[in-house]
Every structure is written in C-alpha cells, then in structure tokens.
Amino acid sequence: MEISRTIGRDPGHQVPSTAASADENVTDLGALFSTLWREKWLIGLGVLVALLIGGYYAYIVATPLYRSTAVVILKTKQDQIVDLQSVVGGLSGDTSEVNSEVEVLRARSLMREVVDRLDLTTDPEFNTELQPEGLVSRIKSMIGLGALAVELPPEQEAQRIRDAVISKLLEAVTVHNVPLSLVFQVTVETEDARKSALIADTIADLYILNQIEVKFEATEQATLWLSERVSALQSKLEEAEAKASEFSAATELVSVEALRALERQIKDFRDRIATAQVNRNAQASRIEALEAATTRAEQVEVSNDAQLERFLSHVENDPEIAEAFDTRFQIVLQRSRQDLARADQQLAALQASETVLSGQVSRQNEDLITLQQLTREAEATRVLYEYFLSRLNETSAQRGIQQADSRILSDAVVPNAPSAPRKSLILAMSAILGLMLSAGLILLREMRNNSFRTARELESTTGYTVLGQIPAMPAASRAKVLQYLSDKPTSAAAEAVRNPRTSLRLSNVDNPPKVVISTSSVPGEGKTTNSLALAQNLLGLGKRVLLVEGDIRRRTLHQYFKDMPDKGIVSVLSGELTLEEAVHRTSGFGADILGGEKSSINAADLFASDRFRALIEEARAAYDMVIIDTPPVLVVPDARIIADQADAIIFTVHWDKTSKTQVEESLRMFHNSGQRVTGLVLSQISPKGMKRYGYDGTYGAYSGYGAKYYTN
C-alpha cells in the first residue's frame, strides 16, 4: 500500500526540488486536454451562451446593411479631337497617381457634393440628430450632460451637422483599387438597397464631372492669364518698335558698310600720319645735324648740297666764295627749317582729320549698337507676343472639348439581399469565441489552483503520509453528522474514516498512540468532524475513548452536542472538578467528552501548564484513546503546545480548498517546534468533483463506495 511505504517518513523530508522544478517546467498536454474534456459541459454551455448572444445580435439587434458597388476605370490615353496641346494633361497611370485618385474618390469635398445633391442631411441614417433619442442620450439628459453642450449660431450649427453627415457618409463608403489595374471599386453600404446603389452611382458621376470641371477651370484660368499676358506683350512690343523708330529718325542713317568704309579711311589717315611723322623726324634730325656742323666740310657733308661742294674747293683762296658758301649754307638751313614747319603743319592736319573721323566712327558705332539693341528687343518681344497669342488662340479653341480622365465601367446594382450582418459568420465567430473564453477560463482556473485534489499530490508536496481520504458528510448540519455515521455504517464516509483509524494504529505497532491531536491550518477544514468520526470508529473496536475540546475559544463541540455542560476542561485544570466529574456523556455517542468553557485565562497558558500535563497523564491511564480537537495552527499556537503531550498528530487538509502555502506554513511551524506530524487527512472530498477532475475515484479507499454515498 502507498500508506505502508510512507509511514515513518521523516517530518522534514520533502520531495527533491530538482524533480519538482522539472515537473513544473513540463507542460502535460494530455493533462491539458483531459482538463478541457472533463469540463466539456461547461465549455458547451459557454459556447451555447455565446451562440445565443451572437444569434440575438445577428437576428434581432443588428440592422441589415446593403452593399452596392460602382466601378470606375482610369483612361491614360486621351482622344485628340484637334491637334492642340492641352492645358491639363491626362494621367500616366503610375502607382502614385492611382493612389492619389483613391484619395480623391474619398475626399470630403467630393462627399460634400454627394451630400448636397442627395440631401443626406435630411436622412436619419446619416444625420443622427434626426434619429429617436437613444438610451445613451436619455442617460446623458438624466444626469445633466446634455445641458453642457454649447449652443452654436444657426449657420455654425448647420455646418456642424453637415460635417457630421459627411463623416458618416465616409464611414459607409469604401474605395478599392483592383490590384495591377486602373480600376476602382466604389462600394457603399447603407440600410437601404436603393440608397446604396444611388450613392455609389452619384459618387462615380460626381468624380468624373469633377475631373471635367477641374480641366475647364484650368483652361479658363489659362485663357484669362494668356489674355492678360498677350495684352501686356502687345503694349510692350508697340513701345519697343516706337523707340527704335524714334531713334532711327533722330540719327544719321548708318550701316555696317558705311562704318567699315570710315574705318578704312581712318586706317589710311593713320598710315599717312605715320609717314609724315617719319619725314618730320628726318627733317628735324637734318636740321640738328646742320646746326651741329662746325666746319665747312661737315656742313657740306651734312647738307649734301652740290653747290656747297663746288664752293668748298675755292673757299680758302677766295673770300667772296667763302662768303657765298656761308650764304648758301644759311639758305640750305633756312630751307630745311621751312620744310620742318611744313611737315609739322601737314602732320597736325592729318592728326586733326584722323581725330574728327575717329569721333564720327565712334558716335556712329554707338548709334548703331543702340539701334540694333532696340531692334532686337522689339524682335524678341514680337516673337514672345506671337507665341503667347498662338497659345491663347489654342487654349480658347479648347473650351468645351475637355475630357475626363475616367469613365464608368459598371453602374451600381441594387442588391437583393443584405451584406451584413453575416449571420453564419457571426454565429461561427461567437462559437469560437465562446469556446476560447470557456477553455481559457477553465485553464486559468486550473492554473490558479493552489489546493490539493489527490493524496498523491498532497504527499508529493508535503512529504508526509496521507492517512486517509474522507468524503464530505451528506448531513444538513454538524449535529447530524454523528447520526449519519451511525445510521449508515457502510456509507462511503463511514468506510473512509476507518482508513485513518487503521493507519494511525499501524503507525507504531509496538506502541500504538494513545493521545492523538486533530488539527488543521485554518478553521472549517473538517478536523472536528474527523475527530468525532475517529472516536466513533474506535468505539466500534470496544475502546474507551475520551474526546477533549482543545479549542476553548470557539468551542466547536457545542455545535455538535446541544446538551454540553457549562463546566469543562478549565474547571478540571483549576481543580474545581475532577476529570470524572467534568466528562460528558451524550446519547447516541459512546465516547466521553471533555468540553471547553469560557475563561479569562489565556488558552495557551492553560495548555502549557503542569496541570494540563497531569490531566493528559490521568486520561492516558483512564482511557484507551484520547483525541484532542485543537485550534487551527495558523490562528493560535495552542495546537503546537498541546502536541507536546500527544503521541500522534493528525493534520486535516480540506480537499480542493486549503492552499498549499497554508499547509506548508503549518507543517513548517510543527517542524520548527521539533514535532513530528504523524500523517495527513484529505477531508471533505467531493466524489462528483473527483470524477469531474478526471480521477474517477481511483484515489482513496472510499472509491468503491461512491454509489452508496448517495443511495444510503
């Protein structure tokens, strides 16, 4: 047996932490699915509830919506009626333009035109102001939130309503570009089938009309601008031509050929001036040489005069010839000086003529440049004027022949059936959601479970032996528990109590325990019921049993036995009564009972006294078994104090309720006090709960009596 293998285990023994950690880190899929399967009815209920909610919404609450779609296609090639360059070109069809056209189809400006054309501000579906007052509005009115709204002037209020209608329309409109194409699907979903088709067609029509209007407005603006520009250029051209004409009339007629002739004359003058300059310099040099000559021979050589050469040979012998020689030399010198004067005059005349002619050329050159500049400006203005005049004529000719960049590929069709709500999808999603929520809640509850459901789990966690597993007593009150055990000795509960009795007796075969305390972590775990059941089972073996109420604060035994006396253990410890005088015997229960009583003395002090020790020794001698029902360990220290006088400690754990932390803390307190817990009792087990958790009664000695639990 499992119990025989674990009897006598050291109190401080625990399951190895490594194994525990490994178990915690491994997800048991079988246990996971098993948990979900055993809660299948709860999951089914969750799915059913979700289906009911989804069905209620789909068939009753949800408003049917009808969807209609108009199809528009972009045209990247425009039909040319005349071979004229358009003011606004067509679309190229690239991704950016396609995406831009999607936004144009959803633009508030286009939706505003749709609202105005169809007068949607009077439609309650889009104008929520016209809808009946809802629950939320009534609640706001009741709590005074409606009065907080700021009243706007009529114009602003109308604009606010109009903007709200546009926003509502945008929520009902979906524009989708068919991938890898220039096709747009304009889908509208409203509460009326005809309305959906009408709005979709209107959006498509206004979108195409808007393209034409944009081109028309651009053409008109271009025509107006070109007209203004042509007028300005015409005035500028006339002004430029007038300036050129006036300048030409105010100056001498000049030409490039005449200027070239004058430049040739200037060159000729400059050549003559250079020659005259050379002659003049030569003449000046001759005069300087003549004036520098000191002898008649030098004078003859410098002057190069034949007559002076003839005079030179006779000048020494004839004074008259010498005088004639000097006279002749002076004539030559004077003549040279006259030639120099004539050369200077000629050079000055040439230079003056060259200067006059150069000034004339310069003036005429400047006049020619100015005239050419004025002529070029007039010509440039004329070319620009003619170009703008041509564009003006072309643009004016394009009025009324603009084409839209799109066309309607398919008109919207009035739907025969609503597109929403999709009842089958809602039901399917509701079922899936119900399944997920139910399973999630079940798994969450399972993960958060911190209690014990099996003896094996309790033993593996604490390291202590489980002496027995006791199902919940099917009694209406505590007072009827003993009656139930007496009336149904073969019931699951009665049979289960025999296990801890046997395990307790076998815990020490040579020296069976005589003083046993029954305790638990917290109140309400069934320790008192287990004490009563154990006492009754021992009576069946012919044992003399004393049941002591160790919890004198709460006095739980008074709830089981209504005829309990006022005097009890406190009177015995004080010496007022003897043990024999204080015990109580009640009908239907063969064991003696030493009840508790009210006292101003601290209970822990009473149980720690020598008188209590003497009382226990007296009870050992008088009875075969003494069972002491003590307070919970985590509430007061009484149980650990009383345990010093006991041979065995039975620790009760409430099935599926007492937390692991509470049990571990209680056992730790016993261990720190150097006290050995004999064994644990898993109490108040629900057979139905065990089966629901998938254990099917395979844990516990009462499993074979599960049917009797309800039939006896």
- Whether the link from the prior residue into 500 is cis, omega within 30° of 0, is no
CA nearest neighbour of 583 among 532, 552, 549, 630: 549
- How many helices (H) and strands (E) are present in the chain, helices listed first? 27, 12
Quick one: pLDDT at residue 632? 94
Tell me which amino acid residue 391 is: R
What tokens does 679 get? 């064994």
pLDDT of 550 strictly over 80: yes
What pLDDT, on a 0 to 100 scale, did the predictor assign at position 139? Answer: 62
Coil, helix or strand for 549?
strand
Q: What are phi and psi of 187, to 5 degrees?
A: -110, 135
- Check residue 45 and give its pLDDT: 92
Per residue, the 3-state secondary structure of 654-681, as one string, reads ECCCCCHHHHHHHHHHHHHCCCCCCEEE
8 Å CB contact between 588 and 482 = yes
3 state SS for 283-321: HHHHHHHHHHCCCHHHHHHHHCCHHHHHHHCCCCCCHHH
pLDDT digits (tens, 9 = 90+) for 410-444: 999 999 988 888 889 999 999 999 999 988 998 88
Are residues 12 and 676 in contact, defined by beta-carbon separation less than 8 angstroms? no
pLDDT of the residue at 191 = 92
Decide if pLDDT at 362 tops 60.
Answer: yes
DSSP state of 478: G
pLDDT at 171: 94
Compute the distance between CA of residue 544 and CA of residue 614 in angstroms, rounded to an integer. 19
User: What digits encode the pLDDT tens for the residues 100-125?
Assistant: 899 999 999 999 999 999 999 999 99
CB 200 within 8 A of CB 188: yes
CATH numbers and ranges of domains, the chain: 2-8+29-62+421-447 (no CATH), 270-375 (no CATH), 452-711 (3.40.50.300)
Which pLDDT belongs to residue 447? Answer: 82
Return the beta strands (E) in 85-209 as ranges: 173-177, 183-190
The CA angle 592-593-597, to the nearest 5 degrees, is 155
Say how many C-beta atoms besides its own lie within 10 A of residue 675's C-beta.
17
Largest CA distance in the chain: 211
- Could you tell me which of 526, 500, 457, 449 has the C-alpha nearest to residue 686? 526
pLDDT of residue 394 exceeding 60, the answer is yes
Contact 276, 269 (CB under 8 A): no
Residue 355: other Cβ atoms inside 10 A? 12
User: Among 6-10, 226-230, 588-592, 675-679, which stretch is predicted with the lowest mean pLDDT?
Assistant: 6-10
What's the rounded Cα separation, in Å, for the pair 253 and 259?
Answer: 11
CA angle 370, 373, 376 (to 5 degrees): 150
Strands 679-685 and 648-654: parallel
Residue 660: closest CA among 392, 469, 517, 463: 463
What is the side-by-side strand order in the sheet with 515-520? 466-471, 679-685, 648-654, 515-520, 625-629, 545-549, 589-594, 584-586
Q: What is the pLDDT of residues 125-146, one digit of tens each?
A: 999 888 886 555 556 555 654 4
What is the mean predicted confidence (pLDDT) over 32-60? 87
- State pTM to two decimals: 0.54
What pLDDT shows up at residue 350? Answer: 82
Give the whole-angstrom CA distance, residue 326 versus residue 266: 45
CA distance 189 to 187: 7
Which residues does 58 contact at the CB level (< 8 Å), separation at least 6? 421, 423, 426, 427
Residue 167 has pLDDT above 90, yes or no: yes
Which region among 197-206, 261-270, 597-606, 630-639 has the lowest average model confidence (pLDDT)? Answer: 261-270
Q: What is the DSSP letter of 169?
A: H
Amino acid in the structure at residue 569: I
Q: Residue 75: which residues within 8 A CB-CB, separation 6 or more?
A: 90, 91, 403, 404, 405, 406, 407
Residue 62 CA to residue 366 CA, distance in Å, equals 93
In sequence order, which residues have a C-beta less than 8 Å from that of residue 293 and are 6 or more positions away? 299, 301, 302, 303
Mean pLDDT score across all residues of the chain:
81
For residue 10, pLDDT over 70 is answered with: no
Q: What is the mean pLDDT of residues 41-59?
A: 91
**pLDDT at residue 371 greater than cutoff 90:** no
**Is residue 594 classed exposed, middle or buried when 0-12, 13-18 and 19+ CB atoms within 10 A define those classes?**
buried
Q: What percent of the chain has pLDDT over 70?
A: 85
For residue 138, the model assigns a pLDDT of 59
Q: Which amino acid is at 647?
A: D
